[in-house]
Amino acid sequence: MRIATWNVNSVNARLPTVLEWLEAAKPDVACFQEIKCVDEKFPREAFEALGYNVETHGQKSYNGVALLSKYPVSDVRRGLPGDDTDEQARYIEALIEAARPVRVASIYLPNGNPVGTEKFPYKLAWFERLRLHAEGLLKLEESLALCGDYNVIPMPEDAKNPAAWTGDALFQPESRAAFRALKWLGLSDSHELGKEPAGTFTFWDYQAGAWQRDHGIRIDFALLSPMAADRFRAIETHRDARDMEKPSDHVPVVVELED
């Protein structure tokens, strides 16, 4: 099973690019973030024509996540539990009913900038809600993949120029500690399982020639439960997608699990 995660940065604005990549890479499951549209405006027919079942949790103009699956899906959850007042569409989860099922979540964690505003505490609170929910999911002892844009730079080697990020919410000690706390529940970073080399980045800003100078960061992850990690076979970071026509500022990450 090939599971992809990709912050597409507006699915309608980049639909030809996204479809071209899907047809070439052929993931069985795709987790999208920042679809930037309400459910009714998601171009589901285009993806259904490629054989995908489509589940979305959208929001007008901002955020939004989606799950696409070549397999049937069930037990769909829209929204992260823990705060009934949170209206931001950042989490969708479903059971992928393959011969060996996998529970998959598409996650768009809050950015948190600027640090001195209410956006940073919201980011940390959201991280804690994710940790608590993941703790409950792990008790199910299923194959679980928590995929998405985590908006955190875990280690200095996950940035080409760490010094440029010291004032950013993505690289604050509290953000990095929250990511470690999530992993310490027993989740494995597929990047580490696959022994990807240093400099395997997933995001390059549109500004200041970041892509041309390779000033990238690694902020997109597929975290795997022990049962999923036992099935891990490979990981691919599709850097070439950043060079496609009208690209997202993120690139897809694809994890392969044994069927």
* Catalytic residue list: 108, 149
Distance (Å, whole) CA 166 – CA 141:
37
DSSP 196: P
Cis preceding-peptide flag for 114 (omega within 30 of 0): yes
* Residue matched to tokens 């608590």: 132
E strands within the chain?
A: 2-7, 29-33, 53-57, 65-69, 73-78, 91-96, 102-108, 144-149, 188-189, 220-224, 232-237, 253-257
* Residue matched to tokens 């998405």: 148
Using N-to-C axis directions, what is the helix angle for 119-138 and 173-183, rounded to 10°?
Answer: 10
**Residue 256, phi-psi category: left (phi > 0), alpha (psi -120 to 50), beta (remainder):** beta
**Inter-CA distances, 4 with 104, 121, 148, 205, 238, Å:** 10, 29, 9, 21, 10
Q: Evaluate whether 26 touches 67 at the Cβ level (below 8 Å).
A: no
CA angle in degrees (0–180, nearest 5) for 6-10-14: 85
Q: What is the residue type of 186?
A: G
